Amino acid sequence: MYSRVATWWTILRICVEERLVYRGDFALGTLMRFLPIVTQVFLWTAVFASIDEEGIRGFSRNDMIAYYLLTMIGRAFSSMPGLASGIARQIREGEIKKYLIQPIDLIGFLLLARIAHKVVYYAVAVGPFALVFFLCRDYFVAGWPDPGVIAAFVLSLVMAFMLGFFLEAAIGMIGFWFLEVSSLLFVYMLFNFFFSGHMFPLDFLNAFLPGWLQPVAHYQPLQYLAYFPAAVFLGKIEGTDLTYGLMAQAAWVVFFIVVCRVAMLRGFKRYSGFGG
């Protein structure tokens, strides 16, 4: 047990050091991600200035901008750039066979690499995040929520990370059956764009969906990547709805852990590597 923990700790430490090698490029890329904030503030200010209503489906202009800032945090936890395509590429190019002959779990290794990536990302981004939220503090009209809501918000962010990882890893495992998953990833990103709540609250989207599709949108897993944590922080989800929401998010995490594991084990059985 101790040797296994020592192995995983060594892998995590190496992954962090690998990220820090390119810290200059990493820091620049991280800072550039904050530029769209200015565009979104101007966009939603213009939208609310052009309508007569004080708010849209319970969201005022300040709520909307605060929501967008919070979804940035949710997306920072749950986004896994290059994970699925990287798994499919390793399968296609035969690199995956090293996990068959070495005593290292593929999913565990990838998970530690992503944890290292997030640790370095937040070490770099905590300053800009703090500055942005300080400058935009007036948009949070209700102020800081109570400690219970903050705890639920943090828990939802951690599960958003787990959900985003295992969901995209499961898509990458499809590479055992289809060597190219780019088109599938494009479809996934398209659905993610609308149903995660990244661009606007799902309350807006539900108003345009047909009645038979609204229950599907209500229970689909993508909402827990961005919409759900932001709605929890803003107090849009509370009481029993908050409890059920956290339980549903945890259930989706477990579901995709099982799917990812089963896909990997079945994929290993059909995988063939030659040469090298």
pLDDT digits (tens, 9 = 90+) for 101-154: 877 888 999 999 899 888 888 887 777 778 888 888 888 877 788 889 999 999
Helix (H, G, I), strand (E, B) or coil at 52: coil
**Residue 21 is encoded by which pair of tokens?**
């090698």
pLDDT tops 80 at residue 207: no
Out of 64-73, 80-89, 201-210, 234-243, which region has the weakest mean confidence (pLDDT)? 201-210
**Residue 159 is encoded by which pair of tokens?**
């599960």
pLDDT tops 90 at residue 156: yes
Out of 94-98, 114-118, 155-159, which region has the weakest mean confidence (pLDDT)? 94-98
Mean pLDDT of 170-174: 91
Instruction: Name the more confident of 214 and 174.
Output: 174
- For residues 78 and 164, the answer to whether their CB atoms sit within 8 Å is yes
pLDDT tops 70 at residue 10: yes
pLDDT tops 60 at residue 276: no
pTM of the model: 0.87
pLDDT-based confidence at 52, cuts 50/70/90? Answer: low
Rounded CA-CA distance 82/249 in Å is: 23
- For residues 196 and 226, the answer to whether their CB atoms sit within 8 Å is yes
Rounded CA-CA distance 56/47 in Å is: 10
Let me know if 149 is exposed, middle or buried by CB neighbors in 10 A (0-12, 13-18, 19+): middle
Q: What is the mean pLDDT of the chain?
A: 84
Rounded CA-CA distance 67/228 in Å is: 10
